[in-house]
Amino acid sequence: MAITDGLAIGCGNLQATGGTKRILIREWNSSSGNPDDIILGASASLHEVTSIRDAGGATATWGVYESKIETSSFTITGATQGNVSTYDLSLTFNAPQITADKIHRITSMRGKCLMALIEDTNGTWMVMGISDTLTGSDANLDISTPGDTGTRQQTFATLSAVEGGTGAAFSDENGLTITLNCTQFELPRLYVNAADPVFATDGLTATTV
């Protein structure tokens, strides 16, 4: 990609706030014959995902993971060795108070190929675990159209760490901190769609188109 312009910083950029607002997580469809429908930006210059839908469906269903305020973060660590740039993405969020339901929800992520949508406090949606690099072919059954990315991802997100406990003093934190990680060979894409994710009445599930 040719460098034809630079970057400007405006007043709004300087007023941007830190932290995350919402975290959505779902599992990749593992069936190569009936893949998730992931549409990338129409041009190489658009580093975006424009559509995320379940296999054969009009929408995709996500779990919404609420977190204690000012504890969740999404970090990007990039490094270049030779001609290869690698980006390690890490999503960390806190679930206060240990309960059976929280243990169940976290355990259900174990050993799964995941993707995540993270909304920062400025309204930008970032994608974790969806990349246009290193998708398997499986006789190309996983790539239904040239604009799609395949389901047999090698850059998916995984549950990498769970930390926490009851603490000792009454004032100690009681809860769990969950970390998802993935390694990609491109910076995370933005989810850009005319329709933002739609949240269910209880706020615990969401759909994307």
> pLDDT tens for residues 17-54?
999 999 999 998 765 556 788 888 877 678 999 999 98
Contact yes or no for 117/105 (Cβ under 8 A): no
Q: Is beta strand 190-191 parallel, antiparallel or unpaired with respect to 48-53?
A: parallel
Range of the domain at 204: 17-208
Alpha-carbon gap, residue 167 to 66, rounded angstroms: 21
Write the single-letter amino acid at 183: T
Give the 3-state secondary structure of residue 92.
strand
Domain contains 11: no
Residue 20 in tokens? 């995350």
DSSP state of 112: -
Percentage of residues in the chain having pLDDT higher than 70 = 87
Domain contains 164: yes
Domain contains 10: no
Domain contains 36: yes
Domain contains 3: no
Domain contains 102: yes
> pLDDT tens for residues 161-193?
999 999 999 999 999 999 999 999 999 999 999
Number of domains in the chain: 1
> pLDDT tens for residues 56-71?
889 999 999 999 999 9
Q: pTM for the whole thing?
A: 0.90
